[in-house]
A and B are shown apart, each in its own frame.
Chain A
Amino acid sequence: MATDLVLPSDLKAKIDIVLDELYRKAQASCVLLLDVGGRLICRTGALDALDATTFAALTAGDMAATTQMAHMLGEKKPFRLLFHEGERQNVYISCVGPSFLLAIVFMAAVKIGLVRLYTGQAVRELIPLAQQFETLQADYEDELSTEFASAVGPELQGLFRPPVA
C-alpha cells in the first residue's frame, strides 16, 4: 500500500456517487470507505468526521485481526467480509480489492440480504476506482508548501491547554 495518497476532487465525486447509492438502497446509517491502514477515504451518513475517522481505524484493526485468523486457518487471502450484529445496529465490512475496505452501518431491522446484495454491487463499482486512486502519483506539491511546514508547529501548540497545577 502506498504511504502517500492524494484523492482528487473528480475521483472523490465518483466514489461519493457509489457510496450515496449504497447508503440509500441499503437503508444504511453510515457508509465508509477506508484503506487497510485505517485511513478514512470517503464517508456518507450520520457519523461526524471525528467519530468516522476513529471508526475507520477500528474497522481496519478489526479486519487485520481476522486476516491473521484466515492466515492461521490456511486461507490464501483475507476473509472478504465481516458482519457484526448488535441489538440496534449492525456493521457489515467488505474488502474492496487488496487495499481498501467498505464499512456499512445499518439498523437491525434492515434485512442483511439487502445490504449484502447492494454492497456487492458497490464493491464491483468501487474496485476500478480504488485501483485508479491507489496508482495515482501522489502529487501534493500544491498543498505542502513551505508555509504549511512552518505553520504546523505553532498551530500544534494552540491545540494544547496548559497543564493543571
Chain B
Amino acid sequence: MFINRELREVHLKIVYYGPALSGKTTNLKVIYARTVPDRRGELVMLKTRKDRTMYFDFLLLELGTVAGLKPRLHLYTVPGQVYYSGSRKLVLQGTDGVVFVADSQVSRQEANVGTMENLRGNLSELGQDPETVPLVLQCNKRDLPDIAAIEEIRASLAIVDGRPCLPAVAANGEGVLETLSEIIDLVVAGAQGRL
C-alpha cells in the first residue's frame, strides 16, 4: 500500500497469479469491460505473438472519494508459463493481495499445485509471509467437464479454511467482480490489521 498524504491517494496493488491459461488475463479483460470508462486506465497487455502474457498485464482503477481518500487499485497479472518465473517474482514486489486463479480441470491440478508452491516461495523471498498475505482463491472454468470439486482444489493447494474461495467462469464474466470485491475487502482489512 502506498499513501500519498497530500493528494489523499491510497494505492493498492493486487496480483492475479495462477498457472498458464487459467484465466488471469480474462479476469482483467472482464473488469476492464465492465468498468465505467472515466474511472479506468488503459488495459496494458504485454503479450507474445502467440497472445500469451509475457511480462504482465496491468489495469488501473480509480474509486471515487471514500472517507476523504481516493483509492487507486493497481491490478496486475503474472505470466503463467514456468519459464517466466523470474518476472512473476518481480511483479509480486510490494503486493497487497493475491488472487490465485486456479484451473478447475482435473488435468490441471498438478499445475495449480506447482504454481501455488512457486507463489509461496516468491513471497517468502520477497520478505512477505505467504500465510498472512491476503489471498482469494478463484476456481475458474467451472463450466467445463471433468472438473475437480472446489474443496478438493482448496485442499490440494493447502489453503486454510477462512480464506475466500469462489467459483468462476471468467470467460463469460461469472465470479470476476465478486473475486475482486473479496480481495479488496481482505486487503483493506489486512492493512488495518497491520496498524
Cβ contacts under 8 Å, A8 to chain B = 5
**A50-B76 Cα distance, complex, nearest whole Å:** 15
**Stretch of A22-30, A87-95, A121-129, A149-157 at the chain-chain interface:** A149-157
Grouping DSSP codes into helix (H, G, I), strand (E, B) and loop, the B interface class, with mixed when no group exceeds half, is mixed
A: interface residue count bin: 35 or more
Contact residues in B for A5 (Cβ distance below 8 Å): 1-3
A159, B195: Cβ atoms closer than 8 Å:
no
Complex interface: chain A residues within 8 A of B69 (CB): 143, 148
Checking A7, A61, A65 against B6 with a beta-carbon cut-off of 8 angstroms, the contacting residue is A7
Q: Choose one: B34, B44, B58, B128; the contact of A163 (CB below 8 Å).
A: B34
A151 lies within 8 A of B66 (CB): yes
Residue of B nearest to A162 (CB): B34
CA distance A49 to B103 in the complex (A): 35
Query: For residues 87 through 109 of chain B, which have their beta carbon under 8 Å from a beta carbon of chain A?
Result: 87, 90-91, 93-96
The 7 nearest A-B residue pairs measured at CB? A37-B94, A148-B67, A37-B93, A64-B90, A9-B6, A50-B41, A147-B67
Residues of B within 8 A of A (CB-CB), count = 54
> Does B63 lie within 8 Å of A152, measured CB to CB?
yes
Given the complex, which residues of A lie within 8 Å of B11, measured CB to CB? Answer: 39-40
Is A103 in the interface zone, CB < 8 Å from B? Answer: no
Which residues of chain B have a CB within 8 Å of any CB of chain A? Answer: 1-6, 10-11, 13, 34-36, 39-42, 44, 46, 55-56, 58, 60-64, 66-67, 69, 71-72, 74, 76, 86-87, 90-91, 93-96, 128, 173, 177, 180-181, 184-185, 188-189, 191-192, 194-195
Contact pick for A143, options B3, B86, B87, B96, CB 8 Å = B3
- Beta-carbon contact of B188 and A149 below 8 Å: yes
**Interface mask (A3-28 → B, CB under 8 Å = 1, otherwise 0):** 11111110011000000000000000
Contact of A3 among B94, B177, B192 (CB under 8 A): B94
What are 28 A-B contacts with C-beta separation under 8 Å? A1-B94, A4-B1, A5-B3, A6-B3, A9-B6, A35-B94, A39-B13, A39-B74, A41-B2, A41-B4, A53-B41, A58-B58, A61-B56, A61-B91, A67-B90, A140-B1, A143-B3, A147-B67, A148-B66, A151-B66, A151-B67, A152-B185, A155-B63, A156-B180, A156-B181, A159-B36, A160-B34, A161-B34
